[in-house]
Every structure is written in structure tokens, then in C-alpha cells.
Amino acid sequence: MKRRKTEGYVVIEFAHAGIPDDQLRPEEFNDHQIAVMNALDSKFQDQIRRGVPMSVIDIETGEDIEIYNRRNVVLSEAQKDSLARVLFHNIQEFYKNPENVKKMKQWEKENGL
């Protein structure tokens, strides 16, 4: 897949709460990840090589250029609670519609659930 040249990027470090710095483990990097990482400032390169979870995002489009060490992302209890509230509300809204319930039952039947 050919990737277009970006006009600019931002690097975002993700929380790795619950994983002490000395227990972070970097993932195996593919060729594209290595090429993107090598274009970054050395402080970001060092963090990525240590296992810090980071994302490089195209400023123009908001799309990920590359993601690193995502297995080291651990949500805090507050983040889990917030996500659960949003999901619970959306699930409730989904099941209020009888057509959605019908489609869900059909999907379950088709997938042996």
C-alpha cells in the first residue's frame, strides 16, 4: 500500500498506568513502523524502543500514521467506568428499537449464538 506524504504529525503517548516503566516490553516492529520511528525526534524513538505506547497521527487528516506498543496500554478505573457508561447508554438505545432486536437475533442465529 502506497502512503502519501504528510504535511505534519503529532505524537501522542498513551497511559500505561498499572505497568511500571521497568516492566514495559516493546513489540516487534515492522518495516513501516521502523521507518516512521526513525523519522521522529530521538526522545520519541527512545520511548518507543522502551515500550511506551505511542501513536503518530497525521495532523491534516487525523488518521494514524503508525501505532506502537499498544499492548502496553492499560485503562485506569476511571477510564473503564467512563467507557462503560457510554457503552451502556448506547446499548440501551440500540435495544429500544424493535428492528435492532430483530436484526440482533438474526445475527445470533446465523453465528450459532
Using DSSP's 3-state secondary structure scheme, residue 76 falls into: coil
The per-residue pLDDT for range 37-72, each reduced to its tens digit, is: 999 999 999 999 999 999 999 888 888 899 999 888
The per-residue pLDDT for range 80-103, each reduced to its tens digit, is: 788 788 888 888 888 899 998 899
16 shares its domain with 49 = yes
37 shares its domain with 60 = yes
d(CA 55, CA 34): 13
43 shares its domain with 87 = no
User: Which domain covers residue 44, as residue numbers?
Assistant: 9-72
Domain count, the chain: 2
**Does any domain span residue 1?**
no
- The pLDDT of residue 3 is above 80: no
Name all contacts of 105-109 with Cβ < 8 Å and 24+ positions apart. none
Of 107 and 77, more confident: 107
The pLDDT score that the predictor gives to residue 1 is 47
**Does any domain span residue 14?**
yes
DSSP bridge pairs for 68: 54
The answer for 18, left when phi > 0, alpha when psi is -120 to 50, beta otherwise, is left
Give the residue among 15, 34, 22 at the shortest CA–CA distance from 74.
15
66 shares its domain with 93 = no
**Does any domain span residue 2?**
no
Give the residue among 68, 88, 63 at the shortest CA–CA distance from 16.
68
Residues 6 or more apart whose Cβ sits within 8 Å of residue 32: 3, 66
